Structure 1
Amino acid sequence: MTNITRWNPVNEFEDLINRYNRYFGLARGNGEREGKDLFSRSDWAPAVDIRETPEAFRIEAELPGMSKDDVKVTVQDGVLSIRGERKQEEETNDSKHHRVERIYGSFLRRFTLPENVDENSIRANFKDGILSLTLTKAEPAEPKAIEVDVQ
């Protein structure tokens, strides 16, 4: 049995417009910027899953074709940043591209950390194109009572 897909030239035109807008950091058609958690323009944004357990938060980012040397993770002022660049392979004279769908270039994802995360205990692991971050929860700080003298 053969599946037949009807070609729609409008879809390819929309894809071209989306790539143009993404390249120049322009707004989408619905008025929103791409990726609400991006603070600066990026060429692309890796897909991210965030899970919570009673002990920690776990962030997993898909970074296929990249190595740990291509990625930098930082924490500053309660914001976790994942930054990197996926480089395109050099073209050779003995091959030509018929279609390029993967996105190359730099990216930046930033996440505001909850107050109950211990910033000093964040661990990172990179395996099979997946960056895994473990953010251990801190014990909640007990409120400190302050005596107020009435005069």
Structure 2
Amino acid sequence: MRAMLFIFLFMLSSCSTIPRVQVEDRIQAWKVTTIENLVKFWGLPTKQQKLSENSVAEWDNKINEPGNSAVSIGGGSYGRHLSLGLGFTFNDLGGKKDYCQRQVTFDDNGKILNIVWKGDQDYCYQITPDYQTVQNNIRQKTNTEK
């Protein structure tokens, strides 16, 4: 019984996701910078369009990893009859499909007005650099160049 409980708790803990608040904080931290800096650290946006007074840049990131392939062999007998079966499964066992969409609204001066996101929490957190870490790295690089 304890072994079953341990296995259940282990499997449950391996499925944990990063809390939405933590992802939100990481993405919203970038609101203090400009669109130029955002492009520098997030890469080129997938789409960009001009609205009446502001512009919107959109980053669409997707990952599609196929699952494993499997081969199974089975056999059976009933009386004097024997049977043998062979089965194949291709890319159907636990594939991973994650996406993260981040939309950034900015004005003509490049000031970021709003950031909204949707998608897989873990993936959005993973692909969005930590703003504070980036700033610390820039400061360290500037100090070593002096």
Report the TM-score when normalising by structure 1: 0.30
Rg larger in structure: 2
**Which structure is higher in helix share?**
2
Report the TM-score when normalising by structure 2: 0.31
**Which structure is higher in strand share?**
2
